[in-house]
Structure 1
Amino acid sequence: MSTVASERDLCFMSIADLAPMLKAGEISPVEVTRAMLDRIDRHNEMMRVYITVTREQALEQAHQAEAEIKAGNYRGPLHGVTVSLKDNISTQGIRTSCASMVKTDWVPEQDATVYANLRKAGAILVGKANLNEYAFSMNPNFPPPLNPWHLERSPAGSSSGSGVGVAAGMVHGSIGSDTGGSGRAPANVNGCVGFKATYGRVSRYGVFPLSYSLDHTTMMTRTVTDSSIMLQATSGYDPLDENSLGADVPDFAAKLGRSVAGMKIGIARGHNYSDVDEDVIRTVAAAADTFRSLGAIVEEVKLPYVEYCLDTYAATMNPEVATIHYDNLRSTPEGFGQRARNRLDLGNLVPATAYVHAQRVRKLMRDGLREVFKTYDLIIGPASPLITGGAGEDSRMVNGVEVNSRDLGDGYTNYYSLTGAPALVLPAGFSHEDTPIGLQIAGNWFDEATILQGAYAFEQATSWHTRQPPYPMDAS
């Protein structure tokens, strides 16, 4: 593109809008890729979206895609579209740092399955996205990305680079990981879509683990349709992933555009609404009214055993992450940031009885949620009880009470991580401080298509997804 304005339009274009232009030859994959790489070159130093930019590989892939499309070998809607990968996802011959000093120069010998599937679909990798250290702790050696709506606010994590990259027009779509909300939380605060499919739907092979029983691979996109496109390309059984499930892969876009009239939707009131910011309460109530206006039946529902969610998550995740890093922590403790060491030490202190009890509670949650979905098609609720806070903050005041923002912030996402049910976050409003607020939509196991149906209906009935952040600023 010849001008910054037209380049910006191209970089902010949805995958669904860009794909037919690429297929028809109205624009070339090389042109798209150069535009995105140029934008990354201008803004990555400030925004810190990427740890590694794969310029040379991206241009090679773009030229290949251009030749294939011209020859009539069109692979589908990701062919010639730029993507990024959270930098804990293995890429053959490309550094995969996990934002850690221990693995800062690690170059994998093979691709993660999720990336191999994207390559088969013709997607073009422009870079490895920034993240929290090993996807769970802040690290001064890899400063976090900046929130494109307010630079001093948190970008959330741990898939921060993926969320900021999509929201700031520095990639068309990204793959993150989500253990307790690590993909949905950045979608919430950066104003994009984050979709964690059913546990086992998308392969985790080649994604550096955080928690054996909680890790999911996540789609990060600008729109709901784009999320369905990326999920379609990356889903399916993988014999290399012991937790991969052999369920049939449906057409995830089949229900997009269908009416939600008559659909039964529950509003999950969560743990304790006294801990929920008034702006979040207002946003969820407005979303419920939107669904009612579309003909859905919306009523409150209690999530079974939700009051045990935070303790169950901690008793599961902390010992699992400590087990994963056990050897490295003892051989090279200096390679971990202080926060990471503290978290790992804590995990080693969790008694086995606590871990076993947590798994029993998870079964009760799953069984109870299964009963809920016999009545309701979808469950909606806050993505977080809090509006976007300051970068690095540990606590804040909510309704006159000081709360632990780090723990409380995950309370609405990790319920669906503990149960393995699919959940999506999409833009649903803005706070009085003009920061994005997301709505979480959850559905029954392996029924991602109904979540996408509901999310698409809401998206089309509102305009929140059309807003673009003020940063990074382009020269006029």
Structure 2
Amino acid sequence: MKREYKAALLGVACFASGAFVTKVADETKITVAMLQGAQQLMGLNFTNAQLDSAVSEVQDFRAGYANVRKQPLGNEVAPAIMFNPIPVGYTFEQKREKFEVERAKKTKLPANKEDLAFYTVPQLAELIRTKQISSVELTTFFLNRLKQYGPTLECVTTLTEERAMQQARKADQEIKSGKYKGMLHGIPFGVKDLLATKGYKTTWGSVPYKDQQIDMDATVVQRLEEAGGVMVAKLTLGELAMGDVWYGGKTRSPWDISKGSSGSSAGSASAVAAGLLPFAIGTETLGSIVSPSTACGTTGLRPTYGRVSRHGAMALSWSMDKIGPIARTAEDCAIVFNAIYGPDGQDLSVYDAPFNYNDKIDVKKLRVGYLKKDFEREYGFKQNDQATLEALRKAGIELVPMELPDFPVRDLTLTISVEGAAAFDELTRSGRDSLMVQQHKNAWPNSFRSARFVPAVEYLQAQRVRTLMIQEMQKKMKDIDVYISPSFASNNLVFTNLTGHPCVVLPNGFQKNGMPTTITFMGKLFGEAQVLALAKFYQGLSDFEEKHPTLALKAEKQ
């Protein structure tokens, strides 16, 4: 019996996982006993006769795995199956309107230059446009702040100083000659270090890749530089886009450097919150913009799935990864998003849909919902969220109670594990995953290994449930333009990351321990203009986006 049990376990590893095939495993004949053990993992109950009939084909499958593994598959190679967030009957907005953001008129260079650290993009843009400060001066200013505070916050992997100064000089020359490109011209920025940048390391925050160089610029980087932006830094991310722990340490929240900045866009949120950059690029698969923005008190935009090209970005989950800006205000996010959205001919998941953000949007005409049951729950900073809802009501926004459709959304997160296991197949099979910093049972090495035991059938069944979710969400949003959710509401966070809906997360107060809180505004598919407009409206009613963690930084400076 012991011998049969061992054989069955070996069969589970060979059949169910399709991985870790050694020479011994390859030479082991698959038996009915092995398949019996394998089917127990999947909750199946085939008879011995049925399993016996399957043995030869399963043996062929295993041989096929070895042949497929001989094909070189870099992280950049996407599956031939693409996620589609579009509901049946959905039509894109056809009209394209001019993108308009009001200039920050009468902006003057502050007497205390350190105040520039927390200026908005329009304010900095006006200083550059009116030549009160040059891009070289502004770039040098932010580089110095990154050098001064970056090591304490552990938020920088690489300073791109040489490239930045070249771009800043170029921006100054263009502006001097009358070739002003717009509000991003000459403005420094940073990117999460899973975006490829030519000439510099792209580490993915992970030990096995900490010396990796990818000889290209990601589309997002290209577009920001085409808009005149100046890239000054590659920013930390939790290892392979999980959490805030990376190969160099743990990224900190500038509000309390004893606390992590959450993740995985850890460095992007930390650097912006600390005034080390005006804005940065983050990514989200399951909370990686929302969570660090909450820990650091920044404003973040998670766009609709299929809005921004991921060409040149590390893939974790092809059907869930999204790229968006983290900044000081909702309008800053709109300015950055306007530069990076749209097809590039490289990422075929990107749709050609307009982004009609301008001052013509009357937010009082928007139909605004809120997740009533989530706001009624008891939690530590409930009063902050209630105050946000009350401020909107007093300002003339009618709030309609609503709830999300009922689906087993947490069970569908196997999507990330399975797609991540495929994206990092070679890392797992080579054993180099043992080099990673995090090795606990919830870390990527174990998650990727565990995902090998998810049958392809069950993965596809989960994606079919996502199709139902998309359809039901469309019904819910039929009469709603924007709805509001507590940022902590994990059901909403998981649900909408699976369906691909956009959101803006923005600060709305503080906890008793001094850490910031945020609230989340959710939009329709491709409804970034409306959700950003409402977020900007709320920020006009409050001043939480103007609060900065200066005390923590001054204490560290001393």
Q: Any conservation in 2 of the 1:131–1:158 contact (CA below 8 Å)?
A: yes
Q: Look up the equivalent residue of 2:478 and give its one-letter code.
A: K
Q: Partner residue of 1:235?
A: 341
- Give the C-alpha shift of residue 356 in structure 1: 2.1
Q: Partner residue of 2:417?
A: 318
CA distance in 1, matches of 2:395, 2:462: 39
Q: Any conservation in 2 of the 1:262–1:295 contact (CA below 8 Å)?
A: no
Q: Partner residue of 1:349?
A: 453
Q: Look up the equivalent residue of 2:357 and give its one-letter code.
A: F
Once structures 1 and 2 are overlaid, which stretch shifts more, 281-290 or 63-72? 281-290
Q: Partner residue of 1:455?
A: 535
Q: Look up the equivalent residue of 1:141 and give its one-letter code.
A: Y
Write out aligned runs for 1:70-81 (5 A): 70-81=176-187
Once structures 1 and 2 are overlaid, which stretch shifts more, 331-340 or 71-80? 331-340
Q: 1:260 aligns with which of 363, 369, 389?
A: 363
Question: Over residues 386-433 of structure 1, what are the superposed CA-to-partner deviations in whole Å (9 max), with x where a residue is unaligned?
Answer: xxxxxxxxxxxxxxxxxxxxxxxx443222211111111011111122
SS in 2 for 1:243: coil
Q: Look up the equivalent residue of 1:375 and give its one-letter code.
A: D
CA distance in 2, matches of 1:473, 1:30: 25
Q: Any conservation in 2 of the 1:136–1:210 contact (CA below 8 Å)?
A: no
Q: Partner residue of 1:308?
A: 408
CA distance in 1, matches of 2:228, 2:215: 21
Question: Over residues 98-157 of structure 1, what are the superposed CA-to-partner deviations in whole Å (9 max), with x where a residue is unaligned?
Answer: 011221111111110011000100101110000111102565632121111112223110
| 2:235 aligned with 1:129 | yes
| 2:503 aligned with 1:423 | yes
| 2:552 aligned with 1:471 | yes
Question: Over residues 259-294 of structure 1, what are the superposed CA-to-partner deviations in whole Å (9 max), with x where a residue is unaligned?
Answer: 4324321112467965x6231x32222211111112
Q: Partner residue of 2:138?
A: 32
Distance 1:299 1:250, change over 3 A: closer
- Give the C-alpha shift of residue 90 in structure 1: 0.5
| Length-normalised TM-score, structure 2 | 0.76
Once structures 1 and 2 are overlaid, which stretch shifts more, 434-443 or 325-334? 325-334
Percent of matched pairs sharing the same residue: 31
Total equivalences in the alignment: 443
Distance 1:143 1:189, change over 3 A: same
Question: Over residues 178-216 of structure 1, what are the superposed CA-to-partner deviations in whole Å (9 max), with x where a residue is unaligned?
Answer: 001101211112111110111111111111011010000
| 2:319 aligned with 1:213 | yes
Q: Partner residue of 2:21?
A: none
SS in 1 for 2:370: strand
RMSD, matched Cα: 2.0
Distance 1:315 1:153, change over 3 A: same
| 2:481 aligned with 1:377 | yes
Q: 1:437 aligns with which of 510, 514, 517?
A: 517
Q: Look up the equivalent residue of 1:178 and give its one-letter code.
A: E
CA distance in 2, matches of 1:303, 1:288: 18
Distance 1:251 1:138, change over 3 A: closer
CA distance in 1, matches of 2:344, 2:129: 29
Write out aligned runs for 1:95-244 (5 A): 95-136=201-242, 139=245, 141-244=247-350
Once structures 1 and 2 are overlaid, which stretch shifts more, 163-172 or 287-296? 287-296
CA distance in 2, matches of 1:451, 1:297: 15
SS in 1 for 2:167: helix
CA distance in 2, matches of 1:154, 1:37: 23
CA distance in 1, matches of 2:501, 2:414: 19
Q: Partner residue of 2:465?
A: 361
Q: Look up the equivalent residue of 1:329 and give its one-letter code.
A: T
Q: Which runs of 5+ in 1 are unaligned?
A: 386-409
CA distance in 1, matches of 2:153, 2:468: 42
SS in 1 for 2:405: coil
CA distance in 1, matches of 2:270, 2:373: 27
| Length-normalised TM-score, structure 1 | 0.89
- Give the C-alpha shift of residue 351 in structure 1: 2.8
